[in-house]
Amino acid sequence: MLLYALLILPFLALMLIFCLPKAREQAASWVNLGVCAAQLLCLLVLWPDSQAVIEANWWTWASTKTPWLALEMGSSKLELNIHLVLDALNAPLLLLNFVLLGIATWISKAQSLSKARLYHALIGLLNITVVGSLLSFNFLLFYVFFELMLVPLYFLIGIWGMKNRVYAAVKLFAYTLLGSLLLLGGGILLAQTQSFSFDWLDWYQSKLPLGTADEYRHYAFWLILIGFGIKLPFVPFHTWLPDAHVQASTPVSVLLAGIVLKIGGYGLLRFCALLFPEEIASHGFWLALWGIFSVFYASMAALGQHNFKSLVAYSSVGHLGFVLLGIGSNNVLSLSGASYQMLGHGLVSALLFILAGSLQKRGGSLEIKDYSGLWIKTPWWAAFMAMGLFAAMSLPLSPGFIAEILVLLGSFKAFGWTLGLGVCAAMLFSASYGLWAVKRLFFGPYWQNPDLPPLNRDMPLSEKVLCVLLLAGILSLGLFPFIFLDLWAKVFGI
């Protein structure tokens, strides 16, 4: 019942928000905050308190299945069930979702928003689609939530974004809609190999085609890989992401980078890494090479950016290239590292986008060339930004360090020196844009473009508290990785 509560609570909140009178529409933020707290409590109650339970069956910590639709299709029968499952793969991302959603809602609360009821209703709808995507074990139900995720994102960027928000929203919608259609095609092809079952657990437990030609699985693999790859995204399907981030408001950028992109990585792990071991074994070298290329390309592109949010967006593409690299290496080390990369990147990217929004609000610009020596005028902001950029560079004590080391070890195990040295070079190159940003923003005498409003004050207390909380989470992941790595060792013990 608590699994249904994770979906029903934000739906009820959505109804309550629309019932609020216009004079009280700012209270909608408190409704979403209360729902996040309730969902987090439900998740902690569902989380197993025994290591024996965790190890016994990693894919069924909690499960509920309700019949939805049954159709006779000749000799086959199509059964669609509302199959919701909490397991070791989706639980950490649900935890991340509730934390970041609460932070994004708190930031929104401090802003004077037009159409506040609609804004917070769309945030609630995004919450529903993310939770539904993570919990759904029926592929068609997963696809419904995955596709609906486009709707709140489109309006959140298109209505409350910056100057070119409509262009960015349309581009996001077009790219991710294409990915969704490819994903649907791959899922239908895969279902044909399983007597038209769309249940992930059926797919996982068989992993082999049932009376259908192997080429169906081959095509399904590539369609699903590219479909989720557009959502993640990796090169060359990434161009929608920088535009979306630059035009989105700070809370939407936090959610987009922190959790929405991770649905793409989650899909790659659940629907590719766990279902297509033979296909990945055949094409793993080229997938790993693709991941390395994504890291190099995105890092080089980040070095050429003048807008700070665009720099962070390209850094996200680079960091998430390690997810594809981990999947291509296809062993417990690399896949655990890929999962940890997503979790750590969610917190680091949220911190960087909050700091970017803080600078834009007080300084009026996100162009890096408009500032230098910021540590003199805004020491708190500079300190938090330096720590965020160091975490993005995957220095020790950051989750990125743990994740990338695991991916590196996994790639050496899978391919030896062939790709291992390339991974080492990619790790070094991915730190270059962070050092460049630190040099430009912090060093030298204080200067600000005189055409901008003067930067006379540092961060307010509320933003400092959020940054401290995110840094505490980042440091905890860097110091205590075994909390989640022990879970994923069971998941990916292939």
pLDDT in tens, 233-274: 999 999 999 999 999 999 999 999 999 999 999 999 999 999
Which range is least confidently modeled, 45-59, 305-319, 417-431? Answer: 45-59
Q: Of the given ranges (4-8, 22-26, 289-293), which has the lowest mean pLDDT?
A: 22-26
What confidence score (pLDDT) does residue 283 get?
93
Considering the domain boundaries, does residue 204 fall inside one?
no
**Could you tell me if residue 297 is inside a domain?**
yes
Check pLDDT > 50 for residue 372: yes
Q: Which residues fall within 8 angstroms of residue 170, CB to CB, at 6 or more apart?
A: 154, 158
Average pLDDT for residues 441-450, to the nearest whole number? 87
CA 109 to each of CA 103, 117, 270, 323, 366: distance values in angstroms, whole numbers, following the listed order: 10, 12, 35, 34, 22
Banded pLDDT at 217 (limits 50, 70, 90): confident
With the C-alpha atoms ordered 228, 234, 240, 246, is the resulting torsion angle positive or negative?
Answer: positive
By C-alpha distance, which of 385, 115, 57, 144 is closest to 249?
115
Indicate whether 403 belongs to any domain: yes
d(CA 46, CA 5): 11
Count the neighbouring beta carbons within 10 Å of the beta carbon of residue 181: 13
> Does residue 152 form part of some domain?
no
Secondary element (H or E) of residue 187: helix 165-192
Domain presence at residue 140 = no
Phi, psi (degrees; rounded to nearest 5) at 76: -110, 160
Give CA–CA dist 493/119, Å, rounded: 42
| More confident position, 291 or 423 | 291
Instruction: Say whether pLDDT at 76 is over 70.
Output: no
- Please report whether residue 219 resides in a domain: no
Structure tokens at 487: 């879970």
Secondary structure (3-state) at 86: strand
Measured from the Cβ of residue 80, the count of other Cβ atoms closer than 10 Å reads 17
- Residue 436 within a domain: yes
Is residue 210 predicted with pLDDT exceeding 70? no
Chain mean pLDDT for the chain: 90
Question: Could you tell me if 86 and 61 are in contact, meaning their C-beta atoms sit under 8 angstroms apart?
Answer: yes
Q: Report the C-alpha gap between 301 and 135 in whole angstroms.
A: 35
Q: Count structural domains, the chain.
A: 1
As a whole number of Å, the CA-based R_g of the chain is: 22
- Helix residue ranges per DSSP H, 2-60: 2-19, 28-46, 51-56
pLDDT at residue 213 greater than cutoff 50: no
- Residue span of the structural domain in which 292 resides: 283-494
Mean pLDDT of 273-296: 92
Which residues on adjacent β-strands are paired with residue 73? 76
> Structure tokens of 478?
């860097």
Of 207-221, 269-283, 302-316, give the lowest mean pLDDT range.
Answer: 207-221
pLDDT (average), residues 118-128:
96
The reported pLDDT for the residue numbered 51 is: 61
| Mean pLDDT calculated for residue range 81-94 | 92
pTM for this entry? 0.95
Instruction: Categorize the per-residue pLDDT at 209 as very low, low, confident or very high, splitting at 50, 70 and 90.
Output: very low
Average pLDDT rounded to a whole number, residues 295-321 = 93
Token pair 């005189």 in the structure block, residue: 450
Question: Cβ atoms within 10 A of the Cβ of 73, count?
Answer: 9
**Phi and psi for 45 in degrees, rounded to 5?**
-65, -40
Specify the range with the lowest mean pLDDT, choosing from 89-93, 142-146, 422-426: 422-426
Contacts of 483 (CB under 8 A, 6+ apart): none
pLDDT at 212 over 50: no
Q: Residue 211 above 60 pLDDT? A: no
Residue 113 has a pLDDT of: 80
pLDDT score of 345 more than 50: yes
- Name the token pair of 111: 């802003």
What is the model's pLDDT at position 59?
66
CB-based burial label for 44 (10 Å; 0-12, 13-18, 19+): exposed
The answer to whether the CB of 154 falls within 8 A of the CB of 229 is: no
pLDDT reported for residue 38: 97
Query: 71-75, 177-181, 271-275 — which is least confidently predicted?
Result: 71-75
> Is 289 a residue whose pLDDT tops 90?
yes
Confidence of residue 195 (pLDDT cuts 50, 70, 90): low
Please say if the pLDDT value at position 74 is more than 80: no
Q: For residue 351, which amino acid is it? A: L
- % pLDDT > 70, the chain: 94
Mean predicted confidence (pLDDT) in 389-406: 94
Give the model confidence (pLDDT) of 132-158 as tens digits: 999 999 999 999 999 999 999 999 999
Reply yes or no on whether the pLDDT at 439 is more than 60: yes
DSSP reduced 3-state for 76: strand
Q: What is the mean pLDDT of residues 4-26?
A: 91
Say which residues have a Cβ less than 8 Å from residue 274's Cβ, sequence separation at least 6. Answer: 204, 491, 492
β-pairing, 371-372 vs 447-448, is antiparallel
Percent of the chain topping pLDDT 90: 68
Examine residue 349 and state whether it is found in any structural domain, yes or no. yes
